[in-house]
Amino acid sequence: MKPNGNAKKGGISGFFSGLKEKSLLWDFVPTETKNSELVVEDFPLLPLRELVLFPQTVVPIFITYRPGMAALEEALRRDNRLFAACLKKHEPASLGEDEPWPVGTVMRIIQHLKLPDSTYRVILQGEYRGTILSTDAQKDFSLVTVAPVQTVPLGEPVSPGDAALMRTLQKSFAQYAEFTKKISTDTISATDRTENPERLANLVCNSIFLKTEKKVELLGIANVRERLEKVLETIELENEIFGIQKNISGKVKSRMEKNQREYILHEQLKEINKELGRDKVEDEFADLEKTITGKNPPEEVIAKARKEIARLRKLQPLSPEAGVLRGYLEWISDLPWSDYSADSGDLAEAEKILDEDHFNMRKAKDRILEFIAVRHLLADPSAAERTAIKGPILCFVGPPGTGKTSLGKSVARALGRRFVRVSLGGVRDEAEIRGHRKTYVGALPGKIIQSMRKAGTVNPVFLLDEIDKLSSDFRGDPASALLEVLDPEQNATFTDHYMELPYDLSKVLFITTANSLHTIPYPLLDRMEIIEVPGYGENEKLAIAKQFLVPKELKDNGLAEAKIIFKDETLKDIIRYWTMESGVRSLEREIARCIRRVARYAVNREYGTPEKPVTTFKKTVKSADLEKLLGRRKYKNDVVFKEARIGVSYGLAWTETGGAMLPVETTRFDGSGELIITGNLGDVMKESARIALSYLRSTQDRYKFQVKDIGKSDFHIHVPEGAIPKDGPSAGITLAASLLSTLCRQPPLPGVAMTGELTLTGRIIPIGGLKEKLLAAIRNGMEKVLLPKDNEEDWAELDKDIRDAIAADFVENADEVFRLLFGKKILK
Pairing of strands 103-114, 41-48: unpaired
Pairing of strands 784-788, 807-811: parallel
Question: Which of 288, 609, 341, 627 has the alpha carbon at shortest distance from 458?
Answer: 341
718 forms bridges with which residues in the sheet?
Answer: 665, 678
Between CA 604 and CA 615 the distance in angstroms is 15
Instruction: Centre a 10 Å sphere on the Cβ of residue 330 and count the other Cβ atoms it contains.
Output: 14
Runs of H (alpha helix) within 416-537: 431-434, 447-455, 478-485, 522-526
Q: What is the DSSP string of 606-637?
A: TTTSSSS-GGG-EEEE-GGGHHHHH-S-S---
Q: Which of 215, 726, 771, 773 is catalytic?
A: 773
Q: Which of 207, 341, 730, 738 is catalytic?
A: 730
User: Is 773 noted as a catalytic residue in this protein?
Assistant: yes
517 secondary structure, DSSP code: S
User: Is 338 noted as a catalytic residue in this protein?
Assistant: no
Pairing of strands 713-718, 675-678: parallel
103 forms bridges with which residues in the sheet?
Answer: 131
Between CA 73 and CA 93 the distance in angstroms is 20
Terminal Cα distance for the chain, rounded: 123
Between CA 753 and CA 758 the distance in angstroms is 15
- The 3-state DSSP class for residue 588 equals helix
Buried residues in 575-586 as b, exposed as e (16+ CB within 10 A): bbbbbbbbbbeb
Cβ pair 703, 822 in contact under 8 A: no
Between CA 444 and CA 429 the distance in angstroms is 13
Instruction: Centre a 10 Å sphere on the Cβ of residue 51 and count the other Cβ atoms it contains.
Output: 16
Cβ pair 129, 117 in contact under 8 A: no
Active site residues: 730, 773
